[in-house]
Structure 1
Amino acid sequence: MGEVKTIRHDWRDILRAFKMAFDPKKMFLGYSALLASLFWCTIVVALFSALKLISTTPCIFIRLVLCSAREGVPVIAGNVSQAIMPLDFGELFALSILIFGILAIWSLAGGAITRISAVDYAKDESICLIDALKFSRKKFWSYFWSPLVPVIGVFFFALCNVIGGLLGRIPVFGEILVALGFPFALISGFLMVFIGLIGALGLCFMFPTISAEGSDAFDAMSRAYSYVISRPKQFILYCIINTLYGLICLIFIACIAWLVVRLSFYTIGIGMGQKFGLIQSFLSQKCNIACLGFCNVPSPQPLVSTASLTWSLKFLAGMLIVYIVLIKLTVWTFVLTYLFSAKTIIYFLLRKDIDSTDISDVYIEEEKTERSNAEVKTFPSSGEGNKDNSSPDKESRL
């Protein structure tokens, strides 16, 4: 007999996200999307850096992967802030291309992950990877535009204020016009804050809305705003539970990954001897095996240059770095699949409380129904066949 899942329809269901995140289909989608995102970021930054449009180099992404999160995240955040603060056209254009590409990747992968989560939580059923990808491909533009709708709204009202400021350059008349119309600028400022802030808070509900309802970007945006405004206390409570539980899970998974790598290094080092100790010293200069940076105990290591290693030792060191990176990406893939799964559960819980919609209510495509109807029309039942055969006799009697 299969395992019977207990769904309580309250905050305790969020704890199921840990197990749901380890679904092989979700891990595959998240891992592929994470690799594609890193590849896309590296290519775009390398291209615009070669064109001298930006000063940032792809090394920041390599360092983000090789170092721990405690070391790499502040570095990339600083580089991004330095890139966008001058508001240079070339840097903003490069940043836009970067964001659109990442959004396209995660519109396909994130849509499929939330679709799997929605059907799993609502119907206690597992859909195949191909069906999830087909669904996200059909709803691709809904997934793609839903996070951008609040951004477009903010830019629209900002553009209205800019146009008003341009009118203010007209001598005398423009100044009077701005003075009289400044209350409208304040209203635009309020709408920018409202749309931006609530949109950022409700951003997590947009993908689950499309996956659960089969709707469009406008419905995803309206539900995201409605759920945050209608139940702010409940929304904040669910987010706190999700964040605290997610941090505990992340620390646990990161420690397990570090322990696996550490024990593997230790046991191999016992057999390989001094040569492996030389490689370990070299690796400690290039990367941090801990995902979060809190597991490694800093110890003085002798500096090892690349020239002192033979080609075979260089090959071994390079392969070990690749393995460490793959393990780190696995940990961060879990983080992403957990977030998508947890936010999907929170969406269903808020929908039940606000819209009084049953948890098991989820959009199911009508392809199977249409296919079965087509089969019925193609292969009529025996009763229908007898009816057709008997009709000539009836006509002859008449």
Structure 2
Amino acid sequence: MGETKMTMHDWRDIFRAFKMALDPRKMLLGYAGLLVSLAWCTVVVAFSSALQIIDTTPAIFTKLVLSSVKESIPVVAKSVCSAIMSLDVGEFFVFGVLVFGLLVIWSLVGGAITRLAALDYARDESIRLSDALKFARKKLWSYFWSPLVPVIGVCFFAICNVIGGFIGRIPVAGEVFVALGFPFALVSGFFMIFIGAIGALGLCFMFPTISAEGSDAFDAMSRAYSYVLSRPKQFLAYCTVNVLYGFVCLFVIAFVAWLMIRLSFCTIGAGMGQKFSAVQSFLLQKCSIACLGFCSATAPESAASAVPLDRWSLKFLAGMLLVYIFLIKLAVWSFLTTYVFSAKTIIYFLLRKEIDSTDVSDVYLEEDEQTQKKDGTSSSSEGGQENPSPDKEGKP
């Protein structure tokens, strides 16, 4: 008999997100999405830097992964703020190219993950990875445009105000026009706040909506706004449980990753001796083996400013260890992405049940999925009819 999953259809179901996030198919999708995203950002930044459009080097993305969150977040926040404040035309173009590529990548990856999570949670069904990717590819542009709809709405009202400002440049008449029409600018500002704030809160429901309903970007946007505004208390409660539980899960995964690397260093170093101590000291100057920064205390031998590696074999060993640490740390962030998509899918189903009174098991199925299900049912029933036939024939 198969394992029966305990589904409460309430806030306790959020705790299922940990196990759902560890699904190898979702982890593979998240890992591939992060790798492709890093490759895309590296190529775009390297090409733009070679053309002297921007000053940033592509090595920054590798350093972000090899650093811990405690070390990288302040640097990233400072870099992003300074870049936005002084964004010129060339940098704005590069930024747009980066965002476009990342949206395409995560529309496909996020769509496939939420499709797997929707069928897993709602129907206890497991589909093939290729089927999830096929569904996400068909709905690619719905996934792509859904997070951009609030941005387009904010930009629309902002452009209306800018046009009003241009009209205000007309002598006398323009000034009178702005004076009389300024209340409309205030209303426009309110809509920018409303669309932007609610859109940011409901952004997490857009991908699960398309994956569960098979709908488009407009339906994803309307449900996101409706669910946030209709049940704000439940929404905040679910999100609070999700964030707290997610942080605990991430801490456990990150600690296991750190402990795995640390124990491997200690045991290999005990056998290899001073040579591995030199390699380890070199590595700890280049990267942090901790993901969250809570266990990033370096070894005493790493205090020196520089540790030379005099042989190519030691340099090769250090380089390969850097690659392994990079891949392990990327797996931790892969878990975080799959957890976020899985948990938000569960919250979407819970709010849909409360607001729309829709049964949790109601999930959109494509024709080929329905055909496969019917074929499976018919074959099992035929199998049940074939078993009694020998008994009937054996009767006198």
Same fold (TM over 0.5): yes
Per the alignment, do residues 371 and 280 of structure 1 end up closer, same or farther by CA in structure 2, a change over 3 Å counting? closer
Map of 1:347 onto structure 2? 348
Unaligned runs of 5+ in 2: 376-396
Per the alignment, do residues 331 and 114 of structure 1 end up closer, same or farther by CA in structure 2, a change over 3 Å counting? same
Q: Does 1:25 align with 2:22?
A: no
Look up the SS of the partner of 1:233 in the other structure.
Answer: helix
1:24-173 matches, cutoff 5 A = 24-173=24-173
Per the alignment, do residues 100 and 165 of structure 1 end up closer, same or farther by CA in structure 2, a change over 3 Å counting? same
Per the alignment, do residues 59 and 78 of structure 1 end up closer, same or farther by CA in structure 2, a change over 3 Å counting? farther
Q: Does 1:244 align with 2:258?
A: no
Map of 1:382 onto structure 2? none
- Tell me if the contact between 2:146 and 2:218 (Cα under 8 Å) persists in the aligned partners: yes
Moved more, 211-220 or 50-59: 50-59
Per the alignment, do residues 242 and 368 of structure 1 end up closer, same or farther by CA in structure 2, a change over 3 Å counting? closer
Map of 1:325 onto structure 2? 326
Per the alignment, do residues 191 and 372 of structure 1 end up closer, same or farther by CA in structure 2, a change over 3 Å counting? closer
- Tell me if the contact between 1:150 and 1:196 (Cα under 8 Å) persists in the aligned partners: yes
Look up the SS of the partner of 1:153 in the other structure.
Answer: helix
Q: Does 1:364 align with 2:365?
A: yes
> Once the 2 structures are TM-superposed, how far is the Cα of residue 370 of structure 1 from its aligned partner?
6.0
Look up the SS of the partner of 1:101 in the other structure.
Answer: helix
Distance 1:302 1:96 in 2: 42
Unaligned runs of 5+ in 1: 375-398
Map of 2:206 onto structure 1? 206
> Once the 2 structures are TM-superposed, how far is the Cα of residue 14 of structure 1 from its aligned partner?
0.1
- Tell me if the contact between 1:210 and 1:220 (Cα under 8 Å) persists in the aligned partners: yes
Moved over 4 A (4+): 304-307, 368-374
Distance 2:318 2:310 in 1: 9
Distance 1:154 1:9 in 2: 35
Look up the SS of the partner of 2:152 in the other structure.
Answer: helix
Map of 1:313 onto structure 2? 314
> Once the 2 structures are TM-superposed, how far is the Cα of residue 163 of structure 1 from its aligned partner?
0.3
Map of 1:230 onto structure 2? 230
- Tell me if the contact between 2:281 and 2:299 (Cα under 8 Å) persists in the aligned partners: no
Per the alignment, do residues 372 and 269 of structure 1 end up closer, same or farther by CA in structure 2, a change over 3 Å counting? closer
Distance 1:373 1:314 in 2: 59
> Once the 2 structures are TM-superposed, how far is the Cα of residue 299 of structure 1 from its aligned partner?
4.5
| Aligned residue identity for 1:9 | H
Look up the SS of the partner of 1:276 in the other structure.
Answer: helix
> Once the 2 structures are TM-superposed, how far is the Cα of residue 87 of structure 1 from its aligned partner?
3.3
Look up the SS of the partner of 2:279 in the other structure.
Answer: helix
Q: Does 1:269 align with 2:269?
A: yes
Distance 1:130 1:328 in 2: 26
CA distances 1:164-188 after superposition (whole Å, capped 9, x unpaired): 0000000000000000010110111
| Aligned residue identity for 1:120 | D
Map of 2:188 onto structure 1? 188
Distance 2:290 2:180 in 1: 59
| Aligned residue identity for 2:181 | G
> Once the 2 structures are TM-superposed, how far is the Cα of residue 304 of structure 1 from its aligned partner?
6.6
> Once the 2 structures are TM-superposed, how far is the Cα of residue 62 of structure 1 from its aligned partner?
1.8
CA distances 1:70-119 after superposition (whole Å, capped 9, x unpaired): 11122122222221212311111111111111110000000000000000
- Tell me if the contact between 2:49 and 2:57 (Cα under 8 Å) persists in the aligned partners: yes
CA distances 1:297-356 after superposition (whole Å, capped 9, x unpaired): 244424374754310000000000000000000000000000000000000000000000
Percent sequence identity over matched residues? 70
> Once the 2 structures are TM-superposed, how far is the Cα of residue 220 of structure 1 from its aligned partner?
0.1
Distance 2:373 2:247 in 1: 46
Moved more, 92-101 or 197-206: 92-101
Distance 1:261 1:371 in 2: 44
Distance 2:318 2:43 in 1: 25
Per the alignment, do residues 307 and 277 of structure 1 end up closer, same or farther by CA in structure 2, a change over 3 Å counting? closer
Distance 2:62 2:35 in 1: 12
Q: How many residues align?
A: 374
| Aligned residue identity for 1:15 | F
Map of 2:10 onto structure 1? 10
Per the alignment, do residues 237 and 79 of structure 1 end up closer, same or farther by CA in structure 2, a change over 3 Å counting? same
| Aligned residue identity for 2:256 | I
- Tell me if the contact between 1:31 and 1:333 (Cα under 8 Å) persists in the aligned partners: yes
Look up the SS of the partner of 1:290 in the other structure.
Answer: coil
| Aligned residue identity for 1:115 | R
- Tell me if the contact between 1:157 and 1:188 (Cα under 8 Å) persists in the aligned partners: yes
